[in-house]
Structure 1
Amino acid sequence: MIQKKNGIVVVGAIFVDIKGFPQDIYVPDGRNAGYIEYIHGGVARNVVEDIANLGLNSTFVSIVDNTALGEDVKQRLQNRNVNTDYMKSIENGMGTWLAVFDHNGELAGSISHRPNLMPIYSILEENGDTIIENSDSVVAEIDMDEEIVEKVVYLCQKHNKKLGLTSNLVTLL
């Protein structure tokens, strides 16, 4: 059986930014009419989409909510030809950042929810050798649990694959 190439494999989290903007003067303890945006994000999700937008083969190893919003995130990646075979849909599988902006566009307050990313470790335990062996290279988000990052490093060393690291603040190749 011929195994398909996974191209550049990206391992990491998905976040969805929920941003609220008032139509008028923002009143912190009042009711504020305005509009809300949902923006697909997360460092690793952004990286895998950017790779696909360049026309390169990419595979995403991640978790996503088992909701309509999670399905929307996954569908958008598939529409950009990202291989999502190694994405697992689970309850609370995505992180969220809820941000409220004032009438000047300045951040007035926010709350961030980081998901439990350990199901990614399970994906790597079950399929890691196949995923990494059939990749060109790997990019991993280092803001994940230490066990997940160690597993990615181990698999890259085992299969002699180049590993790039990325996070919210820095990218290392």
Structure 2
Amino acid sequence: MEVLAIEKLTEREKEVLVLIKKDATISREEIANKLEISESAVGTYIHHLSTKGYLLGRGYIIAPEKKVVIAGGANLDIKGYSPNYIKGSSSPGWIKESPGGVARNIAEDLALLEQEVVLLTAVSSDHFGEQLKEETKAVGVDISHFKITSAQENKTGVYLAHLDQNGDLIGAVNDMRILKKIDINYLNEKRKIIETSSMLIFDTNLEESSISFLLELARDKKMIKIADAVSVEKALKLKNKLIYLDYLRANLDEIEVLLGLVKMEASGTTQKLNIKDRMQRLEKFYSENKHLPEMIISAGKKGVYYLSRNKEKVKLEHFKAPEINSEEIVETTGAGDALTAGFVAGIMNKKSIQESIELGIKASTLTIKSELTCNPDLSELV
């Protein structure tokens, strides 16, 4: 799907467009009064907005903007590192904090890749929430539509992780109860922001009812729709909804469980098939189920697979992961989010799918070389 390219606006045209976005039924006289200009001038600005592609036809129908809207999780990552991990015991190490959450990470990575991003999420007015707002805004993400709850009502989401000497996850606890606030009422309030975007991304930290409502809002709109599966268990929220997506970004375990190829309790640990056989099985299932979206499948050290369909022909492409010395790997948290962000940035910049996936792999590679969930060096990829 092609992203709409539209010309830049003058300051006065921006003011007129802001008023129309707030009230699509506003009259020229009302606009003239608010801006203290003549009605004929308003007519000229509206004509410019139409010719530049910001308004479509009559009735001030607002065209999709070249921005990405992301809905989903934002939380504080608290990570404990054990260079000499001892199972079942207290291990010496150190603890670090950083902003996290799948949707928030993708948003920050996209901002680093110079994309216009609006993040729809919920945080509390507690100190964790203030920290998330401050640090997310600082990198260029639009946080003006955050749902802010009282500290007494909810706590800001927290992801508490324990990592070993290789930076791999030993175990984690996430408290994302506040995301229930990203409900249908909240999303309905933000529908104009959603409906006028050129791309909608969401993660499965959202409630299933919220995912259904988002997809309903986006169904007939000219935007690209991408879901990030997050985890094996949460990926199941996408069951019976895949037909409404353009792309699904997930790892192989998540996709196999979501499609019913493997039971959840068998995922990742008890499978006897190698990666080649698993991909062949997935490719066969994909060819038999034409409603499925295109898939960007991360497979760790095996790289990334891209599964698509051109008319009746299914195509499976493999992108190798770059060789990285173990000494360069700091931790893997955020690598999948960076893959999604790089892919999206490529699409928004009108790169091919293959070039976009390669950009995602580069972003992911940079991420695992940093102790930060979002590596500031991503800006060097632009």
Structure 2 partner of 1:127 = 190
Structure 1 partner of 2:124 = 65
Identical positions, percent: 26
Q: Which runs of 5+ in 2 are unaligned?
A: 1-15, 22-64, 232-247, 250-294, 297-382
Structure 2 partner of 1:18 = 78
Structure 2 partner of 1:147 = 209
Shift of 1:142: 2.6
Aligned pair 1:98/2:160, yes or no? yes
Q: Which runs of 5+ in 1 are unaligned?
A: none
| Structure with greater contact order relative to length (CA < 8 Å, sep ≥ 6) | 1
* Contact 1:61 1:86 (8 Å CA) reproduced: yes
Q: What secondary structure is seen at the aligned counterpart in 2 of 1:83?
A: coil
Pick the structure with more strand per residue.
1
* Contact 1:43 1:167 (8 Å CA) reproduced: no
Give CA deviations for 1:45-98 in whole Å, capped at 9, x if unaligned. 111111111111110000112122211211222112111111112243533222
Distance 1:68 1:53, change over 3 A: same
Q: What secondary structure is seen at the aligned counterpart in 2 of 1:144?
A: coil
Alignment partners' CA distance in 1, 2:207 and 2:113: 29
Structure 1 partner of 2:371 = none
Aligned pair 1:54/2:113, yes or no? yes
* Contact 2:82 2:165 (8 Å CA) reproduced: yes
Shift of 1:113: 1.7
Structure 1 partner of 2:17 = 2
Alignment partners' CA distance in 2, 1:149 and 1:104: 35
Shift of 1:6: 7.2
* Contact 1:17 1:97 (8 Å CA) reproduced: yes
1:73-88 superposed matches below 5 A: 73-88=132-147
**Bigger-Rg structure (1/2):** 2
Pick the structure with more helix per residue.
2
Give CA deviations for 1:113-148 in whole Å, capped at 9, x if unaligned. 2224232123212221x1123212111113321111
Q: What secondary structure is seen at the aligned counterpart in 2 of 1:139?
A: strand
Alignment partners' CA distance in 2, 1:111 and 1:10: 23
Q: What secondary structure is seen at the aligned counterpart in 2 of 1:117?
A: helix
Alignment partners' CA distance in 2, 1:20 and 1:49: 22
Number of residue equivalences: 171
TM-score by length of 2: 0.40
Q: What secondary structure is seen at the aligned counterpart in 1 of 2:160?
A: strand
Alignment partners' CA distance in 2, 1:158 and 1:23: 51
Alignment partners' CA distance in 2, 1:104 and 1:52: 28
Alignment partners' CA distance in 1, 2:168 and 2:68: 37
TM-score by length of 1: 0.80
* Contact 1:6 1:83 (8 Å CA) reproduced: no
Shift of 1:106: 6.7
Distance 1:53 1:101, change over 3 A: closer
- The letter for the 2-side match of 1:17 is D
Alignment partners' CA distance in 2, 1:43 and 1:25: 26
Deviates more, 1:62-71 or 1:86-95: 86-95
Alignment partners' CA distance in 1, 2:103 and 2:223: 18
Shift of 1:160: 3.2
